[in-house]
Structure 1
Amino acid sequence: MMRYPTMLYLAAGLLLLQMGVGLGNHEASVSTGLEMTANEQALRKSLLKNYDKLTIPPGNTTITISSLTIRTMEMHEETQSMEILSYLSHSWMDLRLKWSLEDHMDLDRLGMDPDDIWKPDLTVYNSAREDYHLHQSQLPTLVYPEGRVLFVPPVQLHFTCVMDLTYWPHDKHTCVVKIGSWVHHGFLLDLQVSSDALEFDLMTRAVEGGEISISEWEVLRSNITRVIKYYPCCSEPYITIDVSITLRRSASAYTYTVKIPAVCLSLLTLVVFLLPPGAGEKLIFGGFCLLLNLLFLTYTTQVVVHAPTHTPLIMRLVCQQLVLVLVSVLVAALVVRLARDPHPYPLPNIIKSPLLTLSYFLCLSNYTTLASRTQQEY
């Protein structure tokens, strides 16, 4: 009977021992974490002491662009520009930010506010905005013991791109964005980029039966290159990174809102010319076609209103159809008026004489005598 209390006492003792060990490990972990935090704060304070963030790092600084990942693209016809949301991964060496692993508890990386350290003055040369500066993100940078700084901010590139809308809505455009330093020449600030740095990870939205792209544009070709340029004012080279993207409009909605209506309007225009000239129905049908062509031109003008140098071919087609239908309606109205009574006044000789002369060439001489009669002879 005494065995059971003894076993209970042993179990309780073991439980208390485990709790004590766990509590001790937790306290040790908390203590280590506090030491790491204090070490990180001390290191950051030491690195930023007497640090001038406006001064470029010593030596020839090289900015290496490892990737430019494009997430969204949008074309703005009204401003003749293109807007890209992307992630720009680039790094550089700043020896003022290096430290020893042995002296700082093997701290292999340090997060720092980008406003506290030097950053390259990368700008968009052909920006469509007043603000040409590239970096707008407040996300932290990563600094490594050897002094390498890694910065991967989300950047919004808004640059000019003149659009040729001649073949709208099947138009293609090649847009180029130029990125480079605004102040430093190539001897002080070099730009390097790998040939496979340009990546596309366009955002999609899941729907029933698959995924659809948020963008209405399809990427045909893309390229990223390093360009060295010399200006007449200076002997130093200026280096830029040119990103070229060729796009094609792939919005299927235009098939139902533009292409099919344009084909139907062309068929209706042919029907107008199949009706006899003296039929009153031709006037009604022609007026209806005029109204439809005007509505189509109004719609397409709202879509491509800011294309002053390149009028889409489909708009030219509908405009010419509008003129043809208008001429047909005017001629039909004149024929109906001449063919129906009453005729209080005879046809003027200035119109009658050329028509009589033309009748011989049209093999209508049998109608010449009838047309030559005066009103009293009727």
Structure 2
Amino acid sequence: MQSLTIVSLLFVFFVEVFGGFTTTKVGPQPIWNATHTDKLRQDLLLNYDKFARPTQHYNQTIVKFGMTLRHFDLNEFKSQLTVHAWIRMVWTDEKLKWNPEDYGGLSVVRLADHEIWQPDLFLYNSATSTAVGHYANTHFLVYENGEVLWVPPCQFTILCDLNLKYWPFDEQTCQMGFGSWTYSGDLIDLELYDNQSTIEQELIIESNEWKVLDTAIYKTTLYYKCCPEPYVKINANVTIARRSPSYRAVIITPAFAIIVLILATFWLPPNAGEKIILNGCIAVIISMFLLYFTQKIPAMGSHTSLIMIFYSNCFYIVCCTMIGSVVVLWISKTKHTSPVPWTIKKPLTGTLGKWLGLNVYIQQQEKKALSCFIFADLTLKTPNVLVSVC
């Protein structure tokens, strides 16, 4: 037992004496196959806080903003425009600077979106609570001078005030407003990338129903009563027009046919029973079109479509025409003992009747009156015969 203790003490003594001459390296040991990119990433991201703005709190971060339109789709019933676009943002990160000579001439590095700070730009009039980076799981390009380039593909769903008064020949203008959610203009300033004044459309995929007429992108600065500092906003406007060749054949051509059919009911003789059949067919056609419009056009209180007003008014005219035809048929085919009242007959056989196109009936009444006068001259002594004839 004593010998074991003596051996242990001797071991500790030799370790304390001879161990002081050996040197140990403190810190992370380099990987044997590490590249210059690995070393640069380790040096840049060590103790990097991605939630802190990468500059002093009194300095300003300038973010350059650009947009490239890829595709869009409009939902009339929800008043929403869905835009597929590529957003281009460039800013300078003071924490991501290095000397390329220290890393084998490496001047650019790719970093993931969850590794470094990014501006909290938000679509103010978004129909959903989706930020810019929600669909942007893409990498950043970081250059030696600290410049960061980020081009994420995004999908925006915005609220748009639609005016369907001239449907299907309507044009719609929708606006997208981008700005920082928590930083004022003193901390994050937005600028247009490469002095861009319109949204780029070189890579656009055309829509089957809509075409782009005009785009615009510009910067505005807002001041609110609550706060003295400015708030910067980037507005992107898109003006689109509906492609309507198919609607001309489906809606406009039947409209002319309905007008001709309605006029045809007035050209038929008053006592023609076919008028009721024709009016009934027209009413069925108009009802089918009105049901079709309810599937294509949302009910809007302020902007009622003119085409719907036209078809509904045609339906009113057809209904009134059918009622008038029934009354005329009842009068013409039912025997009445009393003649037409003088107050009604006099205007219809005068100037008003000529304006209404009743010249044929007026001439018949004049011939009948003339024959009555001639017959009266021949039968003055028998007035009862005159009354029975005239």
TM-score bucket (shorter structure): 0.7 to 0.9
* Deviation (angstroms), 1:197: 5.7
- Which position in structure 2 is the counterpart of 1:198? 199
After TM superposition, the runs of 4+ consecutive aligned structure 1 residues lying more than 6 A away are 364-368
Q: Structure 1 counterpart of 2:79, which letter?
A: Q
* Deviation (angstroms), 1:337: 2.3
* Deviation (angstroms), 1:215: 3.9
Pairing 1:158-237 to 2, within 5 Å after superposition: 158-193=157-192, 194-196=195-197, 198-201=199-202, 203-204=204-205, 213-237=206-230
CA deviations 1:111-134 (Å, max 9, x no partner) are: 111011111001011111133555
Q: Structure 2 counterpart of 1:166, which letter?
A: K
What SS does the corresponding residue of 1:52 show, helix, strand or coil? coil
Pairing 1:78-117 to 2, within 5 Å after superposition: 78-117=77-116
Larger Rg computed on CA atoms:
2
What SS does the corresponding residue of 1:99 show, helix, strand or coil? coil
1:79/1:306 contact within 8 Å kept: no
1:51 to 40, 48, 51: 48
Q: Distance in 1 between matches of 2:128 and 2:208?
A: 22
- Which position in structure 1 is the counterpart of 2:378? none
1:124/1:134 contact within 8 Å kept: no
- Alignment partner of 1:145 is 2:144: yes
1:60/1:189 contact within 8 Å kept: yes
- Which position in structure 2 is the counterpart of 1:246? 239
1:135/1:153 contact within 8 Å kept: no
* Deviation (angstroms), 1:237: 0.3
What SS does the corresponding residue of 2:158 show, helix, strand or coil? strand
Q: Distance in 2 between matches of 1:259 and 1:117?
A: 57
What SS does the corresponding residue of 1:191 show, helix, strand or coil? strand
What SS does the corresponding residue of 1:114 show, helix, strand or coil? coil
* Deviation (angstroms), 1:81: 1.7
- Alignment partner of 1:301 is 2:294: yes
What SS does the corresponding residue of 2:326 show, helix, strand or coil? helix
Q: Structure 2 counterpart of 1:185, which letter?
A: S
* Deviation (angstroms), 1:203: 4.2
Structure 2 CA distance for partners of 1:202 and 1:282, relative to 1, 3 Å: farther
Q: Structure 2 counterpart of 1:316, which letter?
A: I
Q: Structure 1 counterpart of 2:313, which letter?
A: Q
Q: Structure 1 counterpart of 2:60, which letter?
A: N
* Deviation (angstroms), 1:217: 1.9
Q: Structure 1 counterpart of 2:202, which letter?
A: D
Q: Structure 2 counterpart of 1:311, which letter?
A: T
Q: Structure 2 counterpart of 1:76, which letter?
A: N
* Deviation (angstroms), 1:202: 5.5
Q: Distance in 1 between matches of 2:198 and 2:283?
A: 54
2:62/2:92 contact within 8 Å kept: yes
Q: Distance in 2 between matches of 1:90 and 1:132?
A: 14
* Deviation (angstroms), 1:45: 2.1
CA deviations 1:43-67 (Å, max 9, x no partner) are: 21221111111111213101012x3
Q: Distance in 2 between matches of 1:74 and 1:259?
A: 25
- Which position in structure 1 is the counterpart of 2:277? 284
1:62/1:92 contact within 8 Å kept: yes
1:53/1:116 contact within 8 Å kept: yes
- Alignment partner of 1:262 is 2:263: no
Task: Tell me the TM-score normalized by structure 2.
Answer: 0.77
Q: Which runs of 5 or more residues in structure 2 are unaligned?
A: 1-31, 350-361, 373-387
What SS does the corresponding residue of 1:168 show, helix, strand or coil? coil
1:228/1:237 contact within 8 Å kept: yes
* Deviation (angstroms), 1:252: 2.1
1:165/1:171 contact within 8 Å kept: yes
Structure 2 CA distance for partners of 1:62 and 1:197, relative to 1, 3 Å: farther
Structure 2 CA distance for partners of 1:289 and 1:264, relative to 1, 3 Å: same
Point out the more displaced range, 150-159 or 260-269.
260-269
Pairing 1:306-345 to 2, within 5 Å after superposition: 306-341=299-334
Q: Distance in 1 between matches of 2:284 and 2:302?
A: 27
Task: Tell me the TM-score normalized by structure 1.
Answer: 0.79
Q: Structure 2 counterpart of 1:195, which letter?
A: Q
* Deviation (angstroms), 1:107: 1.0
Q: Structure 2 counterpart of 1:217, which letter?
A: W
Point out the more displaced range, 246-255 or 47-56.
246-255
2:342 to 353, 356, 372: 356
